[in-house]
Structure 1
Amino acid sequence: MSHHSDDNMLIASSDSFWEPGNHKRTTKRIEDGYRLCNDLITLIQERSDIEKAYSKSLKGWSKKWNEIIEKGPEYGTTEAAWKGVLVEADRLCDLHIRVKDDLCNDIMQQVKTWQKDNYHKTVLHIKERKEMEESFKKAQKPWCKLLTKVNKTKNEYHIACKAEKSASNQERNASADSSLSMDQVKKMQDRVAKSKEEVQKAKEKYEMALQELNAYNPKYMEDMTVVFDRCQETEARRLQFFKDTLFTIHKCLNISQDPVLPQIYEEFYHTINNADHEKDLRWWSNNHGVNMAMNWPLFEDYIEEFRDISKGKIKESIPAGTITLINQRSVGEDLHVNDLHSTHPKINSKKQTVTLSRSEDSTDDHKQSTEKSNGTKSHPITFLMKGSCTGPYIPVLIGKIDYTCSIFPYVFRNSF
């Protein structure tokens, strides 16, 4: 749709371009072009913000519903179809982020660069507008002088005509008045004749001024046209640049032509199409239904349970280290003693004791250093013996003790 471009509107009027000062609308257009660049930058920035906000909303919505679906009761391929909606949102979010980046980093920067190259703004004015203003004034100055002369002579001519008209009316009234003398009437007639001469002189001056003005009109129009054409060229560059920029915006925003978009919705379609209710029902039956494995109850015999005694106390009261049997009798000695009393020796069924202590080195220096470093001395430990047997006996440890007997031929290490 065209606006203000009809050639048939070129009708001269008091508002015509050729009138003095009316060129300012054309020079103002230069400043308007600078402002329109700012407006276009703002337009692009706001659309970029919309794209960013939309992308952020999509991303937040996708994250929210992903958590809901993950924690929800949906399962199997149908759950994957639900998530296909979120995948579409995530990929569309990436697409709109790219649109935002293209608007800000490419198109908006192009407008800023073009504005900087074509408009040189100072604190008070735009350089290009001031130059055109001065060129128009220079072209219009001679013609304005002639126009001023025309207006002056026209005014003088109109005053003379008015005076002549007034004198003629007075002379006509005086001729009809019998009370006036002939001398008075003659004076009136002389005034009329003189006013007519003034009218003729003023008319001639007026006509001459018009001739001079009309003679200069072609030169005036030529000079003004040269400056005007320069303004038109400047504006043509702006209009063409804006058209190209708008086409670039169109290409950027027209995501329907982006090859990524069809892929998004094609994959979205296949994700939904892959939802298989029969497969989901089989999965449910295998994991939560009649197809699950079952450990049916079987007969189980009784198995005696064993418990540790004083586990915690022994660990706390007995320090870590090596224990040494310090009071021991050999099996031969026991048999010899028993032979003195009975031919069938038996070990007393009462509990017997074996006293153990941590092994120490033979040197006192090592003993002292060990005691200093540990802050403790040797702790004799008594093992309770129980049971009845005819042969060599083995101590039964009560509790779990991490000690090694360096003399006793058996090793006790967490065996109880």
Structure 2
Amino acid sequence: MALACIPYLRKGEPIRIQRRSDSPSTPTTPTNAMMNEENEIDYSPIVQQQADGTRLQKNVRSMVKEMCDIQGKYFKDLKVWSRKWNCIFEQDTSSLASYETTQRMLSSVSSIGHELAKKIDHSHRELRQILNSIPREEQYLSRQSQLEQARVSINRAENELNTYNKKLNKLNSQLRRIKNQLKDTSSNHAEKLELKMQQRDVEDSIGKAEKDVEHAKKLCQRAEKNHRKDTDTIFDQSQEDELDRLESLRDPLMIFLETFEIKHGAWQQAIENHDPKHDLNAWKQKYFSQKIRLSNTQ
């Protein structure tokens, strides 16, 4: 099943490949990869999928960083709180002058902020380590760039085919003009001989141009076949990368809970039930259900 020649699209435009089919047209829906009556596959969802995955990763990192900042501020506030009240009770020579055990009790309790700060400092360091384990930047190849690069050879082949077709059309138009001139009864014998020589030359050029067109068509078909393989490979790689991305979120969040000594409950259960493959399959069914059925019939 050959691909149709695809014109180069500007960045941001839907990325499609056409697969010729004799099957009747099927209506498109906004939730499926756009496939028209020629089974035209819109690959732009994998570009958006990568953008969404990158944003998701950044949001998780921002969430952990925000908690890290809260912990850092809490650490400082606890120490300030302890210093303040410890000084107040230890320096209260008026109301606590004779209350030795009361003063000792209040001074001791007010120092609890320092102990809490030690625990917070430990969790704060753990959060910073989690933060460092989540990538700041996109670590996977750009799907947009990959798909655009995959179109380079097919666009080149199509441009060459268009050039040869234009040349052939121009020669055919020239031949028609010569034949019309030969029908002109006002032309003398010498003029007609000249026109016939021109006709032979143009017909020879048309023969060569037709061969060029046929050769260009074969190159275009070859480029279409390679383009289909390339886009299928890019699609498969995109799903492997997004699976890796989703799986990479689990461990940092597990450590995140352990940092606060949360080992049971709904939070823990949600992490244990995390199933990236299930999520990706649901995504593919939503955007590429017809592609999946097409692959199963090949």
Which one has more relative contact order, counting CA pairs under 8 Å at least 6 apart? Answer: 2
- Whether TM-score is above 0.5 comes out as no
Give the TM-score band, short-chain normalised. 0.3 to 0.5
Using the size of structure 1 for normalisation, the TM-score is 0.34
More helix by share: 2
Q: Which has the larger radius of gyration?
A: 1
